[in-house]
Chain A
Amino acid sequence: MLLTSRRYSVADPVEAIELCFEKGWTDGLPVVPPTEERVRAMLDAARLRPGDQVAYIAHRAVSVTAEKVAINAVMAGCRPEYMPVVAAAVEGIGEPAWSYHGPGTSTAGAAVLTVVNGPIARELDINAGDNLFGPGWRANATIGRAVRLVMRNVCGSRPGTLDRGTLGHPGKLSYVIAENEAESPWTPLHVERGFRPEQSTVTVMAAEAPHQFYNQLSNTAEGVLTTLADDMRISGNVMGQPQYMLVIAGEHMRTIAKDGWIKADIRRFVFEHTKNSHAHLRRTHRMAGPVKPGDEALMRPLVESPDDILVVAAGGRAGAFSAYIPGWGSKRSSQAVTKEVKR
């Protein structure tokens, strides 16, 4: 089937890379030139036709076709076998619940936090361990980059125009992890969200940067999570009640599991211990108006419900660190979405 995108003739790959810069098609780093052969390999790997609609961004009236996703995936440096994951992530950010316009545009500067679950994560060597959010893995670096290039080139989310992030954060280059299902004692994220273990999925959440917390003293679940809750209580859009993701790494994972706690226990504990009094919120100018009688005892939860805390086991085996990640804005405005990777 015909590829309908406009074509540009260039002398060689170096000139192609420079043309992509000149046209404003890159994230600031060089891209792989999107030739027809490479784009077709990408489409074939996901068994997509060029004209298939992967997502429809209602607020922008933009239809995101497989051809455009494939071109941007090539540019990002993806291998063809990553394409089904990229397509599932793009499908996810096109869901009404994710609500593209807010996280795509907002001054609060969200990135697309992407968690891959199921067999495909291991097949594609998507990092779930050491240096989780850092560089070093092609799949982690290029899948998220491809999604961001689609947002930029297809959906119009360019910094300064329709992407108005005040600060943004490095996760806007790529923000992809896998859950460490091989070593986790817990139910994987996708199974908690209604999929079978053998299905592969992508969960996308509009999110701030990861916040690392330290607890190198406790050998109990309650100890580790007390520290987490204390770090987390005032974070993100405190008044907005966004969703949160907890990324529990090796040492903490083993400590918490040793006490017999499952993910639901973590969610409940963290929900109960991250509430703020109205008095504190008013004194610190987060809630409008002066402190009123009763405000010391009146508590506001950080999230609407324990289910708004997504728990993922991932990160290196060594080191008593884990992370919490505030979602963008509020749950009312955007929610995490999980999509099956179709192959």
Chain B
Amino acid sequence: MEILDPTTEATAQSIAYAPRPASLEGKRVGLIENTKFNSDRLLAKIGDILKAEYGAAETRMWRKHNSSVPAHQEIIEELKRTSDVMVAGIGD
């Protein structure tokens, strides 16, 4: 007898990664926090380290609508315009 596979066979997808900067010197860093408790503090701390130790020029934080969805389109559009690199993280 024959049985059928219940899983979805993955189809090949190509993802284009943005080129990585050689250094963070002078770069504008976008921070995306996911609304969970302390996620803003954690990311602010990371931003401070990137400025103090890696020479990042500035940081700016955005807040997602909620932790279970990807960052909404307005955030992504604004990030693309105003930041060179970004850090996303969760708080738990």
A residues near B, CB below 8 A? 3, 5-13, 16, 19-20, 23, 25, 33-36, 39, 59, 61-64, 67-68, 71-72, 75, 99, 101-103, 106, 149, 153-154, 288, 329-330, 332-334
Q: Report the minimal beta-carbon distance from A239 to chain B, rounded to whole angstroms.
A: 9
Q: Report the minimal beta-carbon distance from A39 to chain B, rounded to whole angstroms.
A: 6
B54 adjacent to chain A (CB < 8 Å): no
Would you call A333 and B66 a contact (CB within 8 A)?
Answer: yes
Would you call A102 and B4 a contact (CB within 8 A)?
Answer: no
Q: Taking each of B1, B4, B66, B69, which has the highest tally of chain A beta carbons within 10 Å of its own beta carbon?
A: B4
Expressed in whole angstroms, the Cα–Cα distance for A334 and B8 within the complex equals 25
In the complex, the number of residue pairs spanning A and B with C-beta atoms less than 8 Å apart equals 84
Would you call A9 and B2 a contact (CB within 8 A)?
Answer: yes
Query: Would you give 29 A-B contacts (Cβ < 8 Å), ordered by A?
Result: A7-B4, A8-B3, A8-B5, A10-B1, A10-B2, A12-B1, A16-B3, A19-B3, A23-B7, A25-B6, A25-B7, A33-B1, A33-B3, A34-B3, A34-B4, A34-B6, A35-B1, A35-B4, A68-B8, A71-B4, A71-B5, A101-B69, A153-B6, A153-B7, A153-B8, A154-B8, A333-B66, A333-B67, A334-B68
Residues of B contacting A23 in the complex (Cβ-Cβ under 8 angstroms): 7
Residues of B contacting A288 in the complex (Cβ-Cβ under 8 angstroms): 37
Q: Report the minimal beta-carbon distance from A8 to chain B, rounded to whole angstroms.
A: 5
Would you call A61 and B5 a contact (CB within 8 A)?
Answer: no
Residues of A contacting B21 in the complex (Cβ-Cβ under 8 angstroms): none
Would you call B6 and A75 a contact (CB within 8 A)?
Answer: yes
Known A-B contacts A35-B1, A61-B13; the reply to A329 vs B7 at CB < 8 A is no
**Which of under 10, 10 to 19, 20 to 34, or 35 or more describes the interface residues of B?**
10 to 19
Would you call A3 and B4 a contact (CB within 8 A)?
Answer: yes
Instruction: Type the 1/0 row for B63-84, where 1 means its CB is closer than 8 Å to any CB of A.
Output: 0011111100000000000000
Expressed in whole angstroms, the Cα–Cα distance for A85 and B70 within the complex equals 30
Q: Report the minimal beta-carbon distance from A86 to chain B, rounded to whole angstroms.
A: 13
Residues of B contacting A106 in the complex (Cβ-Cβ under 8 angstroms): 68
B9 adjacent to chain A (CB < 8 Å): yes
Expressed in whole angstroms, the Cα–Cα distance for A72 and B68 within the complex equals 26
Expressed in whole angstroms, the Cα–Cα distance for A101 and B71 within the complex equals 13
Expressed in whole angstroms, the Cα–Cα distance for A200 and B2 within the complex equals 35
Residues of A contacting B2 in the complex (Cβ-Cβ under 8 angstroms): 7-10, 35-36
Chain B residue with the shortest CB-CB distance to A206:
B68
Would you call B4 and A5 a contact (CB within 8 A)?
Answer: yes
Give the residues from 1 to 32 in chain B that come closer than 8 angstroms, CB to CB, to chain A: 1-9, 13
Partner of A68, one of B6, B69, B70: B6
Residues of A contacting B5 in the complex (Cβ-Cβ under 8 angstroms): 5-8, 71
Known A-B contacts A6-B9, A61-B13, A288-B37; the reply to A39 vs B68 at CB < 8 A is no
CB-based closest 9 A-B pairs = A102-B68, A6-B5, A5-B4, A153-B6, A71-B6, A333-B68, A153-B7, A5-B5, A332-B66
Residues of A contacting B68 in the complex (Cβ-Cβ under 8 angstroms): 99, 101-103, 106, 329, 333-334
Would you call A99 and B69 a contact (CB within 8 A)?
Answer: yes
Chain B residue with the shortest CB-CB distance to A76:
B6
Instruction: Type the 1/0 row for B20-50, where 1 means its CB is closer than 8 Å to any CB of A.
Output: 0000000000000000010000000000000
Give 16 new A-B contacts, CB below 8 A, not counting A8-B4, A16-B3, A63-B8: A5-B6, A6-B9, A7-B2, A7-B5, A9-B2, A25-B6, A25-B7, A35-B3, A35-B4, A68-B8, A99-B68, A101-B68, A102-B67, A102-B69, A288-B37, A333-B69
